[in-house]
Amino acid sequence: MDRMLVVVFDNENKAYEGKKALTRLDDEGSINLYAYAVLAKRADGTVSVKQGDDVGPIGTLVGTSVGALIGVLGGPAGLVAGVTAGAAGGSIFDLHNVRIGEDFIDDVSKALSPNKVAVVAQVDEEWTTPVDTRMEALGGTVYRRALSEVTDTANQEELTAMKADLAQFKAEAAKESADRQAKIQEKVKQLESKIQAHLQKVQDRRRAAERQAQVKAQFLKSKADSRPSL
């Protein structure tokens, strides 16, 4: 099952041990590790994303659920330099890209208090015990949630609402005076522009998801090819 994992530790050393444990579990075949990062919550509330190889096997956080979650966890205080310039902007802060419920985000946000460090990872796991036992042995607290496709439903609901408003504006414009019609037409133009931007964003997300799926498939194939035959 495709899941988001967040493991919260008391210090950075333990978090890096946790990250290494996840990569070992991936090597053992217990999980498939698609993307991961180590992040620290500073005393001032900012989130620092560590550099190095922590972007995971996919090679970048841009457009991934991990990247989106990190952006959300950064909160109003934002992110501190450490993540690449490309990953620090754009869709990384889009809540729709996280693909998990707000209750999960709330739980993780509370656990990731100032001076705590976390490993954030997107994995495929069929059995939770391997990850839980390794992380608990290191003093980590595991939060996990299955990734869903609810973004398509949310996007459609938002689009339907905007189209309903647009239809209402157009219906009212036909009944109003010329002066009032001009004001309503301006609202119509603004809403039509928002609808087009929304459709473009949905299309961009879909393309990004397709690219992610292709990269994940290639990653799994390369792993299978590299394992010695029995």
pLDDT reported for residue 82: 40
Residue range 190-219, pLDDT digits in tens:
888 888 887 887 777 777 667 767 777 777
In a domain, 15, yes or no: yes
Do 173 and 109 share a structural domain? no
pLDDT score of 127 more than 80: yes
Evaluate whether 188 touches 170 at the Cβ level (below 8 Å).
yes
Closest CA to 142 of 122, 119, 110, 125: 119
Do 123 and 36 share a structural domain? yes
Six token digits for residue 96: 């729709």
Residue range 36-69, pLDDT digits in tens:
889 888 888 888 887 545 556 555 565 567 777 8
Do 123 and 96 share a structural domain? yes
Residue range 151-186, pLDDT digits in tens:
555 567 667 878 887 888 788 777 877 777 787 888
The domain total for the chain is: 2
Average pLDDT over the chain reads: 77
Do 135 and 194 share a structural domain? no
pLDDT score of 106 more than 80: yes
In a domain, 184, yes or no: yes
Provide the residue range defining the domain that includes 97. Answer: 2-148
Do 192 and 161 share a structural domain? yes
Return d(Cα 109, Cα 87) in angstroms, integer.
20
pLDDT score of 9 more than 90: yes
Closest CA to 31 of 122, 150, 148: 122
